[in-house]
Amino acid sequence: MAIARETVEQVNSVSDKYKYGFFSDIESDTAPIGLSEDIVRFISAKKEEPSWLLEWRLKAYRHWLTMIEPEWANVHYPKIDFQDIYYYSAPKQKDKPKSLDEVDPELLEVYKKLGIPLKEQEVLAGVEGAHNVAVDAVFDSVSVATTFRERLEKEGVIFCPISEAVRDHPELVQKFMGSVVPYTDNYYAALNSAVFTDGSFCYIPKGVRCPMELSTYFRINAAQTGQFERTLIIAEEESYVSYLEGCTAPMRDENQLHAAVVELIIMKDAEIKYSTVQNWYPGDENGVGGIYNFVTKRAACRGDNAKVSWTQVETGSAITWKYPSCILQGDNSVGEFYSIAIANNMQQADTGTKMIHLGKNTSSTIISKGISAGKAQNTYRGLVRMGRKAANARNHTVCDSLLIGDKCGAHTVPYIENQSRTATVEHEATTSKVSEEQLFYCQQRGLSEEESMALIVNGFCKEVLQKLPMEFAVEAQKLVGISLEGSVG
């Protein structure tokens, strides 16, 4: 009950709907507007990349030119002009900062405002027993700071911007990048492969349990800029890591494109827990502005007993197009997907997952909670495929949708393909509205209509919220309340 009360308080205390909508005037270094082979070369040169990577980017770019923008998702938006986007924007800096003390104080100020402490001693100060969180902060196109690196290095964990990994660990990057999401995968993955600018790289060596949560915080700041980051996480045998991702952007009248690729590789007996709180600027109530969030996320369980868990809270973005997927290759491997997608006002979300069962005794769980309010459209789209060799595989899927208001839409489009006799696939989905009785009960106990709604919605999402790491769960719970502001009455 304490958590519920906190949510209610939070809803009351927040007066402006999107508190991360500020813009920071930070001088930046940008590439010329538009996209061409020269821009791809420009980005690669800026990053001082080896020739193999430039070649790979160019191959991706040439392939992208042959592809057609996908239109199957249940989202509607004007055609994106790919020549009207800056593909590279980095805060200006004289020399690479050697420590956090040398990072531009204005940048640190931005992250402070966002509630992301980059000074290590401030991290969760005063919370006894809580885990520390190592943060990689990505600002527009580049990573500006990564905390706790020394501590992690002691354990053998590599956690750094991907551009640094290309320089310092080229063998790992070359071996794994594009092995889960090849550049031919889809339109936005190809675009990302051509122009990706930064992102995080994690490598957890064999037998290591990462001593703290790793986190990347993405911030789009510059106008007319697209953010194309690439995250690559490799968990070697018997290792474990929990990774968090957060994102925000300023309020603007224009739509900005965010097309990321995330690849996870999980070896035998290893586990990755990947949590996202996506809070890009959603646009105003009339649908002006906001981020187009077109993301490809995929995990490959390469070894036996590997486990991957995706948890996402999707509250932001004008349009979300995202299907974190699991390829369960190793026998007994486990894939999980827990999602809350909230769409309010004019937001459109088309999200879900793919569970591809290839190995024996693989199992997967999908819990998806979609909430639509205002004039929003929310779609769950998912695939569960049991391959011929997936003996005794199991899947259990629950998709629940909640509708608030009579102008919104909730859609469920699951694809289930079973080629294995001994596999069991179960799917259930329901759609309903918040019951009048529940609302009445809460109001009769003295809560306002809006407080009651936040309480009920939090209850609806509880199964997923519980899966988030503690640091994120609190934030996510508050977000659920805020995102639904103005949806009742």
Cβ proximity to other proteins: between 58 and 488 the closer is: 488
Residue in 303, 356, 310 with CA at minimum distance from that of residue 333: 303
Q: Which of residues 403-422 bind other proteins (CB under 8 A)?
A: 403-422
Q: Which of residues 58-77 bind other proteins (CB under 8 A)?
A: 72
Inter-axis angle of helices 449-465 and 470-483, to 10 degrees? Answer: 140
Contact 285, 486 (CB under 8 A): yes
Q: How far is the CB of 384 from other proteins (least distance, A)?
A: 9
Q: Assess 431 for contact with other proteins (CB under 8 A).
A: yes
Is residue 457 close enough to count as binding other proteins by CB under 8 A? Answer: no
Question: Can you tell me which of 259, 356, 425, 480 binds other proteins, judged by CB under 8 A?
Answer: 425
Residue from 113, 175, 433, 445 binding other proteins (CB under 8 A): 433
Query: CA 285, 288, 292: angle at the middle one, nearest 5?
Result: 105
**Contacts of 403 by beta carbon, 8 Å cutoff, 6+ apart:** 372, 373, 409, 410, 431, 432, 433
Closest distance to other proteins from the beta carbon of 401 (Å)? 7
Token pair belonging to 332: 């007994």
> Rounded to the nearest whole angstrom, what is the least distance from the CB of residue 164 to other proteins in the complex?
43
Residue 423 within binding range of other proteins, rule CB under 8 A: yes
Choose the binding region for other proteins from 148-156, 267-275, 401-409, 474-482 (rule: CB under 8 A): 401-409
- Helix/strand/coil for 305: coil
CA gap 178, 301 in Å, rounded: 15
356 counts as binding other proteins under rule CB under 8 A: no
Q: How far is the CB of 296 from other proteins (least distance, A)?
A: 21
Length of the chain: 489
Q: Is 14 in the site for other proteins (CB under 8 A)?
A: no
Residues in 98-157 that interact with other proteins by CB under 8 A: none
Q: Is 429 in the site for other proteins (CB under 8 A)?
A: yes
What is the number of other CB atoms lying within 10 angstroms of the CB of residue 102? 13
Whose Cβ is closer to other proteins: residue 382's or residue 481's?
Answer: 382
Angle between helical axes of 37-46 and 51-65 (0-180°, round to 10): 150
Q: Choose between 422 and 466: whose C-beta lies nearer to other proteins.
A: 422
- Name the amino acid, one letter, at 291: I
The CB-of-289 to other proteins minimum distance in angstroms stands at 25
Q: Which residues of 13-41 are buried (b: 16+ CB within 10 A; e: fewer)?
A: eeeebbebbeebebebebbeeebeeebbe
Binding other proteins (rule: CB under 8 A), the pick from 37, 109, 168, 428 is 428
Q: Which of 430, 440, 466, 470 binds other proteins (CB under 8 A)?
A: 430
Q: CB nearer to other proteins: give 140 or 350.
A: 350
At its nearest, how many Å lie between other proteins and the CB of residue 359?
Answer: 16
CA-to-CA separations, 57 to 43, 177, 230, 467, in angstroms, rounded:
10, 12, 13, 36
Does the CA dihedral 120-245-337-330 come out positive or negative?
negative
3-state secondary structure of 134: strand
449: how many CB neighbours lie within 10 A of its CB?
Answer: 12
Least distance to other proteins from the beta carbon of 433, Å?
A: 4
Q: What are the backbone angles phi and psi of residue 306, rounded to the nearest 5°?
A: -75, 155
Q: Does 233 bind other proteins (CB under 8 A)?
A: no
- Single residue of 12, 36, 432, 466 touching other proteins by CB under 8 A: 432
Task: Choose among 316, 388, 317, 324: nearest CA to 351.
Answer: 324
Q: Is 219 in contact with 137 (CB distance < 8 Å)?
A: yes
Size of the site for other proteins (CB under 8 A): 34
Least separation in angstroms between residue 404's CB and other proteins is 7
Between 302 and 381, whose beta carbon lies closer to other proteins? 381
**CB of residue 374 to other proteins, shortest distance in Å:** 11
Give residues in contact with other proteins (CB under 8 A): 72, 388, 401, 403-433
